[in-house]
C-alpha cells in the first residue's frame, strides 16, 4: 500500500486495549494500535516492537504476516507457562505480559487516592456486583458535618464559612514529605500527598527519582574519610524512562557509598520538570527529583524490600 503525503490521520483519538502500545505505521505518518503476539500484521499494521515482536511474512501471503516473538525465555505463573511476548490477564484487575522470562503487569483499575473534600466529605470505595473494579461514591452528610470536614483543610475564619465556589482562595495548603525512592539504583518513583490544586482536594502525586545509576562507578574516598556522600558523573547524561530519553543533557548529583556499612540516601532535594522524547516522536514531561545533598547513616533499607517498610527517612528543604 503506497504512502501518500501530506499525512492524513484520523481526527479521533486512538483507542487501544490496555497494555497495547501506540506505534507509527510504515509511512511514518499515523499512530496505530500495535498488533500483539499471534495477530495478523502488515506494514500499515505493525507489531508491538516494545514487546520484542516482529511481523513474520513467511507464513502468510498477500502482504500480510503474523506477529511472532524473538527468541526468549518463557514465564511460569502459578504453574501456567506463557511464551515470550504473550499478553495475559491473571485477574480482571491486571493486564500482564511475558518478556524474556520476566512478567510485567499494569493495573486495569484506578488506584487513585481520594480523601475528604468539601464536595465529597465522606468518600467510600464500593464493589459493585457486575463490575471488577471498585468505584468511589460520595455519601451525603448533614450541612453541619459538611463544613466541619471542609474546615480541616481551610483557613480558620470565624467570621464566615468557606464558600464551595471559592475553594482555592481559602485553601490552607498541606503537603506531605516526598517518600523514599522506590529503587536504590536506576529510575524509580517517589510520591507525596498534597491539596495544592484548584479543588483543594488531597491527592497523590509522583515524581521520578534516581538515587544513583545501577552501573555508577564507585570512586575512592579521600584519605581519612569513610563515605563519599554526593559524587557527580564525569560526563553529562540523558535520563531514560520507559524507552524514552530526556531531550536535554544533565550532570546531576548522586548518592555515593561508604566503606563502614553505612548507606547514603537523598537528604535535600528539588523537583524539576524533565522533558522526554520517545522513538515514535512523542514528547511528554515528568517531574523528577534532583539531589542537592545526601546523608550517610545506618538506617539502611533491607535487601529486596520492595516496599522499603523500615525506611522512611525524610528529605528536608525540598522545593520545586
Reference 33, options 61, 10, 60; nearest CA is 10
Taking the C-alpha atoms of residue 165 and residue 281, their distance in angstroms, rounded to an integer, is: 41
The whole-number mean pLDDT for each consecutive block of 10 residues of the chain, a chain of 320 residues, reads 76 81 82 86 83 77 78 78 81 81 78 69 81 80 48 51 57 84 86 82 86 75 72 85 88 86 87 88 88 85 40 39
The three three-digit cell numbers of residue 60, written as one number? 502468510
Instruction: Tell me, yes or no, if the pTM score tops 0.75.
Output: no
- C-alpha atoms less than 13 angstroms from C-alpha of 2 in its C-beta half-sphere: 3
Cell of 78: 502459578
Amino acid at each position: 500500500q503506497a504512502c501518500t503525503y501530506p499525512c492524513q490521520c484520523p481526527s479521533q483519538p486512538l483507542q487501544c486495549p490496555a497494555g497495547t502500545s501506540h506505534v507509527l505505521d510504515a509511512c511514518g505518518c499515523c499512530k496505530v494500535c500495535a498488533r500483539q503476539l499471534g495477530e495478523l500484521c502488515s506494514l500499515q499494521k505493525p507489531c508491538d516492537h516494545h514487546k520484542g515482536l516482529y511481523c513474520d511474512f513467511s507464513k502468510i501471503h498477500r502482504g500480510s504476516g503474523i506477529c511472532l516473538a524473538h527468541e526468549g525465555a518463557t514465564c511460569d505463573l502459578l504453574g501456567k507457562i506463557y511464551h515470550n511476548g504473550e499478553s495475559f490477564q491473571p485477574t480482571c484487575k491486571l493486564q500482564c505480559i511475558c518478556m524474556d522470562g520476566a512478567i510485567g503487569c499494569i493495573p486495569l483499575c484506578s488506584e487513585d487516592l481520594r480523601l475528604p473534600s468539601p464536595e465529597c466529605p465522606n468518600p467510600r470505595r464500593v464493589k459493585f456486583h457486575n463490575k471488577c473494579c471498585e468505584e468511589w461514591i460520595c455519601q451525603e452528610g448533614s450541612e453541619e458535618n459538611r463544613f466541619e470536614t471542609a474546615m480541616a483543610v481551610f483557613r480558620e475564619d470565624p467570621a464566615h464559612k468557606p464558600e464551595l465556589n471559592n475553594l482555592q482562595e481559602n485553601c490552607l495548603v498541606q503537603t506531605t514529605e516526598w517518600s523514599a525512592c522506590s529503587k536504590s539504583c536506576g529510575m524509580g518513583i517517589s510520591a507525596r500527598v498534597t491539596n495544592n490544586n484548584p479543588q483543594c482536594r488531597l491527592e497523590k502525586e509522583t515524581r521520578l527519582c534516581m538515587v544513583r545509576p545501577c552501573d555508577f562507578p564507585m570512586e575512592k574516598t579521600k584519605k581519612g574519610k569513610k563515605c563519599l556522600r554526593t559524587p557527580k558523573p564525569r560526563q553529562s547524561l540523558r535520563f531514560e524512562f520507559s524507552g524514552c530519553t530526556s531531550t536535554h543533557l544533565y550532570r546531576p548529583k548522586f548518592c555515593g557509598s561508604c566503606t563502614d556499612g553505612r548507606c547514603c540516601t537523598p537528604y535535600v532535594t528539588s523537583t524539576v520538570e524533565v522533558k522526554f522524547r520517545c522513538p515514535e516522536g512523542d514528547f511528554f514531561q515528568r517531574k523528577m527529583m534532583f539531589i542537592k545533598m545526601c546523608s550517610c547513616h545506618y538506617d539502611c533499607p533491607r535487601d529486596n524490600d520492595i516496599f522499603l517498610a523500615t525506611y522512611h527517612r525524610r528529605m528536608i528543604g525540598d522545593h520545586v
